[in-house]
């Protein structure tokens, strides 16, 4: 079953991985030539137009550790935001579709005649999903780290934490949408819901970072599980938040088994 799942989901994995990795390769290859004194002067003028709260939300106020004058600085700011969003979207859509598509495509009837239980079906889906999400993160991280090393612009420890750390967020989105999908029978609705979950969560994170008055809002965001700002400023991970993420994953996965085993399949 796991082999079957890996084969079925290979195409989407290659597309999503190629998109983010291709973008990073292009940016890293042209970035040094773009960052001349004239360009930096224009960027500095543009940044002065933004309120401090907005710059803080995107970590662009941390000039000493994340200056966009360097390729690594771009990865730590705009690049990391793009990576988080694309990775979260991929994990959410994968989680929403991987189990539900058997009903939507009517292949559940084929699986029903096989010597495999519903719990066995879920297990194979979870394993293959985790394999692809892990591979997505590691391939993009490795490609980015190699690119920065070639540019002689790499602090390995920082970049490993920044690029590999978000994998906990991807796992959470996968587990949540996998559970949510057990309440549906068609993939169309779950795809839209997956997009909404990611962008709503990111919106809460940004709003909560703009002011101390609304800081509490960001703790309702899945992205608060992995605080990139904490990594940049303190050079460490928030293990309490990561622990919360693991608990969400375990509860969502257990709820998926319970709900799917009770579900009337069509």
- Find all residues with CB under 8 Å of 109, minimum gap 6, and list them: none
Q: CB–CB of 65/233 below 8 Å?
A: yes
pLDDT at 247: 96
Q: CB–CB of 188/135 below 8 Å?
A: no
Q: Could you tell me if residue 62 is left (phi over 0), alpha (psi between -120 and 50 degrees) or otherwise beta?
A: beta
pLDDT at 42: 61
For 69, counting Cβ atoms within 10 Å of its Cβ (0-12 exposed, 13-18 middle, 19+ buried), the class is middle
Could you tell me the CA-to-CA distances from 164 to 107, 123, 177, 215 in Å, in that order? Answer: 35, 24, 21, 26
- The torsion angle over the Cα atoms of residues 16, 98, 124 and 167, rounded to 10 degrees, is 40
pLDDT at 191: 86
- Find all residues with CB under 8 Å of 165, minimum gap 6, and list them: 226, 228, 231, 237
- Strand locations in the chain, DSSP E? none
Q: CB–CB of 239/173 below 8 Å?
A: no
Q: CB–CB of 155/163 below 8 Å?
A: no
pLDDT at 13: 95
Q: What is the rounded CA–CA span in Å between residue 64 and residue 209? A: 19
**Which pair of tokens denotes residue 21?**
């990795």
DSSP character string of 139-167: HHHHHHHHHHHHTT---HHHHHHHHHTTH
pLDDT in tens, the chain (266 residues): 778 888 888 999 999 999 999 999 998 888 777 766 566 566 666 666 666 666 666 666 655 555 677 788 888 888 888 999 999 999 999 999 988 887 666 665 566 566 678 888 889 999 999 999 999 999 999 999 999 999 888 888 888 988 998 999 999 999 999 999 988 877 778 888 999 999 999 888 888 777 777 778 888 899 989 877 777 777 777 888 899 999 999 999 999 999 988 877 65
Radius of gyration of the chain from Cα atoms?
20
pLDDT at 213: 76
Whole-prediction pTM value? 0.89
């Amino acid at each position: 079953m796991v082999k079957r799942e890996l084969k079925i989901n290979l195409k989407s994995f290659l597309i999503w991985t190629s998109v983010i990795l291709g973008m990073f390769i292009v940016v890293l290859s042209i970035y040094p030539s773009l960052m001349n004194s004239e360009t930096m002067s224009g960027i500095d003028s543009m940044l002065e137009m933004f309120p401090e709260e907005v710059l803080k939300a995107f970590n662009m106020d941390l000039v000493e550790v994340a200056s966009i004058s360097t390729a690594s600085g771009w990865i730590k700011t705009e690049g990391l935001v793009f990576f988080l969003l694309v990775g979260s979207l991929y994990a959410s859509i994968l989680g929403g579709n991987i189990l539900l598509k058997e009903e939507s495509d009517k292949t559940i009837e084929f699986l029903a005649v096989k010597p495999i239980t519903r719990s066995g079906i879920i297990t194979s889906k979870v394993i293959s999903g985790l394999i692809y999400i892990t591979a997505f993160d590691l391939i993009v991280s490795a490609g980015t780290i190699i690119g920065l090393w070639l540019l002689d612009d790499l602090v390995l420890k920082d970049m490993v934490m920044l690029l590999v750390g978000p994998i906990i967020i991807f796992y959470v989105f996968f587990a949540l949408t996998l559970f949510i999908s057990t309440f549906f029978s068609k993939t169309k609705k779950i795809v839209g819901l997956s997009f909404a979950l990611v962008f709503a969560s990111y919106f809460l994170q940004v709003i909560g970072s703009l002011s101390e008055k609304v800081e509490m809002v960001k703790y309702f965001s899945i992205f608060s599980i992995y605080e990139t700002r904490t990594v940049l400023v303190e050079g460490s991970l928030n293990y309490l938040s990561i622990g919360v993420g693991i608990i969400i994953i375990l509860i969502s996965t257990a709820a998926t088994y319970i709900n799917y085993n009770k579900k009337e399949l069509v």
